[in-house]
Amino acid sequence: MTTATATLDNPPGWKRILPAGYLVALIVVVGINFLSRNGHDEQRIHEIALLLATGLVLVLARSAALMEFFCASWGGRALALFFACGAASTTMAYAPGYARVEVALFLLLLAIALAIAEQVQRGGIPLMRMALQALGCAAVLHAVRIVVNYCASFALGTQLEPLDFAPGFSNHRFFNHTQTALLPLLVLLYCLTPRASRLRYLWLALVSLWWLSIFATTGRGTVMGLAAGVIIAVVVLRRSAVPYLKTFALTVAGGIAMYVVFLVIIPVIAGHGSFGAFEFALERSRNDPSSMRFFVWTNALELGRQHPWFGVGPMHFAHDAARFRWAAHPHDWVLQIAAEWGLPALLLLGFALFRGMRALVRSRAGMASIESGNVVLPALLVSGAAVLVDGLVSGLIVMPQSQLAIAMYLGFAIAWVRMSSPAEQPPRAAGGAMRLANVVVLSAALASLVAGTYADIVDVMHDGTPNAAANRGLRWPRLWEQGFF
């Protein structure tokens, strides 16, 4: 089978190469974050550096991709209005600088996702496979850290902790958030690797280890999201999803086997007792199913009721919740947008997401015309649905590493939709006005990001604490680990 690609305009060679740089840069930063020593704040600084660099390159290249995306469909127009609502909300916020940072982060993440989509659209499935191989290598290096932690606990006679299965992260939940978006893509990597390649064993072991870490850290939101994604793939694709889902089930079985061997049998033989994650998860679910989230959900609903049109300002749940000293975000993307950006923004974002998921579902009509389409589309459906569902009970859209993971996913998903229906993507040259608008919007986002984070970055790099933090010594992450302001 051949890889379908849309017929596009033919810009100068250096401009064709640049989007590949975005994809490489994002994977490199994700890999560096996996190897982080200082966790959340270090990962955030890396994310900001990536967005500033790529945003600047897009401005210098006079790219019009963002404006073209906004104008290409009703979903794009809704997303443009969503950002307009966010911009309006920043003017009424307690700390407009922080509010503008959140809008800028989301906008620049979308811009890099679109740049990645353009490159993958040009390079097709072979480029997607190469990118996933690079991601797999980064994940393997992180997995080595997990293995080292495991061996060290036995050598030193210490008890394993959940964070031992999430090295480089300030909280094991932040690793779970990243796993929600990327695990289905790593399963896809196994599927795309030739059967004769021994790398298949490496990828299988890697994904199985990721499942073990999810079980060991009792990542209920991740499991719930991935289960929902599997159900969506079955409903949408039926038998066409079987090849991918069989592999997915194989990795789950591998993870369970690893858990039984390494966290039950070996510890019991060594006299340490089993790790007990499943028992803890059952007890926790029985005694406190929401893990105290009802409190923050109620607070978010109240903020939405008090400020229905434009919310309290992007990122400003972290300001209002400082009085409770409990959670700097609502652990629910729907309530977060409603409380901070306003109900109109939530409706616009919901409509844009509906249109996007509908386009992904409809792309099944072109699945057979694309190389390995019978495993790529199920992976994208599982990952997309998992992010939306897990995000209802977590801060998945807040944390830096999971934000980068979602940007990568969006790049792949947008490219897939375009490749599956090339006839609907007629070539056209962007006009001067559209390019100018793109430059202005990206420049404003870059300026907001620099102005809103420069002083904090200096503080974090100097003594580990932004001066604006209202919760010194307390870890409730939002923009920074000490997230209240």
| Tokens (6 digits) for 67 | 């404006």
pLDDT of 290: 57
pTM for this entry: 0.92
- The dihedral over CA atoms of 317, 109, 33, 143, expressed in degrees to the nearest 10, equals 100
Q: Of 147, 158, 153, 161, which is closest to residue 280 (Cα–Cα)?
A: 161
pLDDT of 474: 61
Residue partners of 485: CB distance under 8 A and separation at least 6: 95, 98, 318, 319, 322, 466, 468, 469, 470
Whether residue 331 contacts residue 296, with contact meaning beta carbons closer than 8 Å, is answered with yes
DSSP state, residue 264: I
DSSP state, residue 422: G
HSE, side-chain direction, 13 A CA sphere, residue 107: 33
pLDDT of 338: 97
Q: What are the extents of the domains in the chain?
A: 14-463
pLDDT of 295: 83
pLDDT tens for each residue of the chain, 485 residues long: 344 443 334 444 444 444 468 899 999 999 999 999 889 999 999 999 999 999 999 999 998 999 999 999 999 999 999 999 999 999 999 999 999 999 999 999 999 999 999 999 988 999 999 999 999 999 999 999 999 999 998 888 888 898 999 999 999 999 999 999 999 999 999 999 999 999 999 999 999 999 999 999 989 999 999 999 999 999 999 999 999 999 999 999 999 999 999 999 988 887 776 766 666 656 666 666 656 778 889 999 999 999 999 999 999 998 887 676 678 899 999 999 999 999 999 999 999 999 999 999 999 988 877 888 899 999 999 999 999 999 999 999 999 999 999 999 999 999 999 998 865 555 555 678 889 999 999 999 999 999 999 988 888 887 767 766 666 666 677 888 887 77
pLDDT of 118: 92
